[in-house]
Structure formats: structure tokens, C-alpha cells
Structure 1
Amino acid sequence: MPTLGEVVDLVHGWYPPETADDWDAVGLTAGDPDADVRRIVLAVDPALPTAREAADWGADLLLTHHPLFLRGVHGVAESTAKGRTLATLTRAHCGLLTAHTNADHADPGVSDALARALGLRDARPVDPSGRPLDKLVVFAPPGDADPIREAIAEAGAGRIGDYDSCSWMVTGEGRFRPLEGAQPAIGRVGELEQLAEVRIEAVLPRARRAAVVRAMLAAHPYEEVAFDVIELADAGTASTGAGRVGEVDETTLGEFADHVARILPPTARGVLVGGDPDRVVRRVAVCGGAGDFLLTEALASGADVYLTSDLRHHVAGEFLETGGPSLLDVSHWAAEWTWLPELARRLGEEWGDTVEVRVSTICTDVWQARR
């Protein structure tokens, strides 16, 4: 069976923490990384009901979409909601792990799961954004090129899609003069040196920058190493990013809203419809969670309807006046819950029978009744 640390590494491999928004708080919140994990509960919210469910079931980990500590707190006394939740988990020796906007942006991720649940075809990001990348460029003697390339690959450089150890090299001519106090690996102090060198290039995740540079310097024979680290721009062609937009069989807004209501877990609020129920719908944009930040991109996507949660009154009203997509506002909890079964399947494929995974069906939507 895996340890908690191994589960964290697996989840972070799927949903890299560095892809989370800078305001977010993701990762391991509580628990001993060396503890064994036999049972995992998946939930949208780290709320007291889901913490009690995990504790009562004997779970070793509660893995949630929303963070418990998104903003700073001054204490975790059990007189507070966060304190009660944390204490319930701690007494049960149950860890807490969060994958939030890093799971939102991933492929596959939260909005992918929502798009698949609703039957969208050829879904792609509404706002594409790739994992932040750097390029390392370093110059070295030809005989030292292979050890340097191997060292930076082991540190995380040169991974592109389903390939690793990717790098590029070309031969040129280097020139330098060692000054007094230098201890050159090649050449003599005070003499101008000119020799063949290779230029090595490799891309790397920005989060691995320090590790890759350290590995390169350790493998390099020179006393002073000439190298560049270049931050790469996002080309906008990534399969990751915010929201998803895809195609559906031709229907109407009213019929599609009925379809959404049947597919998503039932909640008191149901599905709110903004727009003409008879409008023809062929293209649908979705965003799990609070998605009014994506309205401009949803408009540009050519969608006939944009489905998300927590739309504000004035913002939604002004958006509908643009003549762009109609709006469907659904429960924040229900939309993001669609991700949990997919996450459970992935964990099952990884750990098999060694780990039991339960998807919580406790509705933690804020609105529990309607009159």
C-alpha cells in the first residue's frame, strides 16, 4: 500500500501545484507523509460533515477540491468551523490533501469532467494556458555535453509530452581569457583562449528551475559557467487551461437546461436559466466553480450557452445584453462533484485493491432548501 507521501506525489503529478493560481492554497494540509494509506475519501469541500464521514469510515486521507485554509487564520480552536474540521481529521489520524485550481486547469481536470458528464464533444480550453516553462541554454566542451544533458534530464529538464531527455545541441566557438585568481579547467591565466564548445538547450518546468541549474553546475567542468535561463511565453495552444468549450447535438436552451438538471447531482437551487428557452444550442462552454472571471473568453469562444456557478446579478445582466451566450448558473458543489468519480477511477487504476476509494455523496452546497 502507498504512503501518504506517495499519494501526494501521484496527485501532484496529475495536478502540479505550480499550475495553481497564485492566490490559491493547494497541497498537503495535514497528515504524516510516512503514514500508510488504505482508505481515501474524495469530496468537494473540507467541511465538518465530510471530515466526519472520513473519520467514521476509518479513512487515512480526505482529498478535497476546495482548500480548508485558503486565507490566513490566527488559530484552529474547535470553537471555529475550520478548527472543528481539522480536529476531527487529526483525532482520526486522517490526512487532508487539496487539489484546487491546479485540478481546474489540468487535462484531464475538473472542467473536463463537467464537460464529459454533459456530453460535450471535442472539448478544449476556453482560456488555454500551459504549464509555465523555462529554457536552459548552457555552453560546454564537447566531451562534457553528454554528462550535462544526463544531469539536467534527471533533474527534470527535457520532458515534452510523452518524451523525456529532450535537448538540442550545436557546435560553435567559445572565447575567454582567465584573469588573475582564476583556476581554469582549460587554458592559462592571462592568455586568450579560443576553442570548440557546444550549445545545449532544454526546456523545463519553471518550478524545477533551481534543481536543474544546480544539476547543470554540478556536472559542468568550468569554474565559471556561461548559461541563460529564458522564461518562455505561453503559446496559447495548450490542452490545459480554464474552462472547456465543445459541441453538442442541436438542441434548445430549455432542453439543454433540462439535460443539465438530470445529469448533475440534485440541489435545492437547481439550474438557473438566463436567456430565451427556445434559443438554438450547438456549442457549450463550461467552467466548474465560480466562473464569472471567464465571461469575456466565453463570449469569444462562440458558445451558444455558458454554464458555470456563482454569477453575480449585475455582471450576468450586462453580459446577457451583449448578445453573446445564454447563461446557466448551477450549484458550485454539483458542478465540481462530477470530477470526483473520475479521480476515484484514476486512483483505482494506480493502486488497485490496495487502496479503497470512496466518493462522498454528502451535499455540501450552501443552499440546502428552497421555499
Structure 2
Amino acid sequence: MPTVKQIIDIIDQIAPFSLAESWDNSGLQAGDPGWQVSKILVALDITDKALSEAKKLGCDMLITHHPLIISPEKQIDFSRMPGSAILTSARSRIALVSAHTNLDKAHGGLNDYLAQKLDIFCTNAFLADGIENETSGLMLGIGRTGTLGKSMTLEQLAWQIKEKLKIARVRIIGDPERMVSTAALCSGSGGSLTTYFLDSGMDVYITGDLKYHEARDIESYGKSAVDVGHFSSESIAVELLKNRLGHMFDADEYEIEIHTYDQEQDPFLTI
């Protein structure tokens, strides 16, 4: 059986940790690099419920998109997160590993997968790192820009996104009848990149967590946006990681069971 470190090395081939943002904390969150791994659970977040499912399935590793810890903790309280997750990791020998902004930015990573889901042909990174992938020619970086499969109204695009991502609702900014044919997209929380979108020449911005004043800026520029929500834009990371890891394990002839945690829900409920 491979070790935790060997699994992390495989993730590094899929989404190099060197791509992660400086503020990020991708990689091993808790556990021993030398532990052996035979079963993995993949989830979006490290939560007590996800860890309970990992224990129930007898998993040795929980791989998530979002890290357990980003800002330094001054104390580790075992009665609440993130301390409770660290305690479970130690007691149950479940390694906690995350692939966050490295997966967002990698070629074939989350933003490419989101674009593929939405039938958007990527032409470049939205905010490039200046690192070009030799195989694809695509600049690696945050988000993607590209062209829609065909021109359509903003409202038609919104309905298409709802269907493709299997979500009940989205928020749109701009005239619903405005025609759009080019798009910038950023999985997760992309509000801080609104200025870059306004300067990009793209017709529509697809992301999550847009704030009121960012929406007003988009509106005042005569642009369009679709806010799909943070959760809905990133929950697909679970199937992406499972598929990519499965192919890598097959190539390395590792017999590892990969399970996905399918009970996660958006923490925001609309009533």
C-alpha cells in the first residue's frame, strides 16, 4: 500500500503545490506522512460529518478542496474545529490532505473542469501567473477566460448554468436580454477580481460570492455576471479529484478504494 506521502506526491502531479497562493495552506493538514493508505474519502470540506463518514467507511485519508487551517491557530481546542478534526485524525489514523488554490490554478484543474461543465472553450487564464503549460499552451493561473459554445442572452446562459451544475437558483447582474459570447470564470469566491473582469473585455463573469458594490460596478459598466454561489462552483471538485486520482492510481497499479462524500450541502439555505 502507498503511504500518505506517496499520495501527496501523486496529487502534486495533478495539481502542483508550487502553484498554490502564498496565503494558502494546501497539502498535509494533519496526520503522519508514513501512514499507509488503502481507502480514501474525497469531500469539499473537512467537517466533523465528513470525518464520521471516513471513519464509518474505514478510510485512511480524507482529501478535500478546502484546507482545514489557513490562518494560524493560537490554540488547539479539541472540542471544536479545527481541533476536533486534528483529534480525530490522530485517534483514528485518518490523514487530512487538501488541494486548494493549486487545484484551482492547475491545467486540467477545477477552473478548467468548471469551464468544461459549462461548455466554455478556454483561451487563457483569467489572472495568469506567467507560467505556460508546455503541453497545452494555456497560461496557468486563477480562473479562465474563453468563449461560449454559442452566443445567447444572459438569461439563457443562467438557465444553462443551472442545468449543467444541477442547481436550483443563480443570481444574475445586468440586462437579462443582453447577448453574451465571451466569459471570464473563477471558481469559489471571485468578487475581488471584479476589476480585472471589467478590464478584460469579456462579456460575462461567472463566479461566486459577489458583493453588492461589486454588482453595482458590473452594472454601471454595462457588463453581465452570473453568481452561482461558492459551494455550487466548487462542489464539482469532489468528482474531479476522484476521477483524476483514480486514473493515476490505475497507472501506478495502486489498489485503493476512492469514495466520495455526497451528503455535503451549501451552508446557505434560502427560505
Structure 1 and Structure 2 fold alike (TM over 0.5): yes
CA shift at 1:238, angstroms? 5.1
- Other-structure match for 1:234: none
Query: Pairwise mapping of residues 126-275 of structure 1 onto structure 2 (< 5 A)?
Result: 126-131=126-131, 161=134, 239-248=139-148, 249-266=150-167, 270-275=169-174
Residues 64 and 99, structure 2, Cα contact 8 Å, conserved in 1:
yes
Q: Using the alignment, how far apart are the partners of 1:31 and 1:131 within structure 2?
A: 32
Please give the per-residue CA displacement for 1:50-71, whole angstroms capped at 9, x wherever unaligned. Answer: 2222221111111111111111
Q: Using the alignment, how far apart are the partners of 2:236 and 2:124 within structure 1?
A: 17
Please give the per-residue CA displacement for 1:11-51, whole angstroms capped at 9, x wherever unaligned. Answer: 12332222211111111111222222111111111122222
Pairing 1:298–2:197 present: yes
Please give the per-residue CA displacement for 1:212-253, whole angstroms capped at 9, x wherever unaligned. Answer: xxxxxxxxxxxxxxxxxxxxxxxxx85211111221212111
Query: Pairwise mapping of residues 19-58 of structure 1 onto structure 2 (< 5 A)?
Result: 19-58=19-58
Query: RMSD value over aligned CA atoms?
Result: 2.0
Q: 1:63 to 1:123 in 2, by over 3 A?
A: farther
Q: Using the alignment, how far apart are the partners of 1:255 and 1:309 within structure 2?
A: 18
Q: Using the alignment, how far apart are the partners of 1:101 and 1:283 within structure 2?
A: 24
- Other-structure match for 2:79: 79
The range that moved more, 311-320 or 292-301, is 292-301
CA shift at 1:289, angstroms? 0.7
Pairing 1:370–2:262 present: no
Pairing 1:343–2:241 present: yes
Q: Using the alignment, how far apart are the partners of 2:138 and 2:121 within structure 1?
A: 17
CA shift at 1:364, angstroms? 4.0
CA shift at 1:123, angstroms? 4.1
CA shift at 1:72, angstroms? 1.3
Unaligned runs of 5+ in 1: 133-159, 163-236
Which one-letter code corresponds to 2:146 in the other structure?
A: G
Q: 1:2 to 1:120 in 2, by over 3 A?
A: same
Q: How many residues align?
A: 266
Work out which of the two has the higher radius of gyration on C-alpha atoms and give 1 or 2: 1
Q: Using the alignment, how far apart are the partners of 1:258 and 1:28 within structure 2?
A: 38
Residues 21 and 101, structure 1, Cα contact 8 Å, conserved in 2:
yes
Q: Structure 1 length as normaliser, TM-score?
A: 0.67
Residues 127 and 142, structure 2, Cα contact 8 Å, conserved in 1:
yes
Residues 174 and 222, structure 2, Cα contact 8 Å, conserved in 1:
no
Unaligned runs of 5+ in 2: none
Query: Pairwise mapping of residues 270-349 of structure 1 onto structure 2 (< 5 A)?
Result: 270-324=169-223, 326-349=224-247
Q: Using the alignment, how far apart are the partners of 1:304 and 1:361 within structure 2?
A: 34
CA shift at 1:131, angstroms? 4.5
Query: Pairwise mapping of residues 57-68 of structure 1 onto structure 2 (< 5 A)?
Result: 57-68=57-68
Q: Structure 2 length as normaliser, TM-score?
A: 0.90
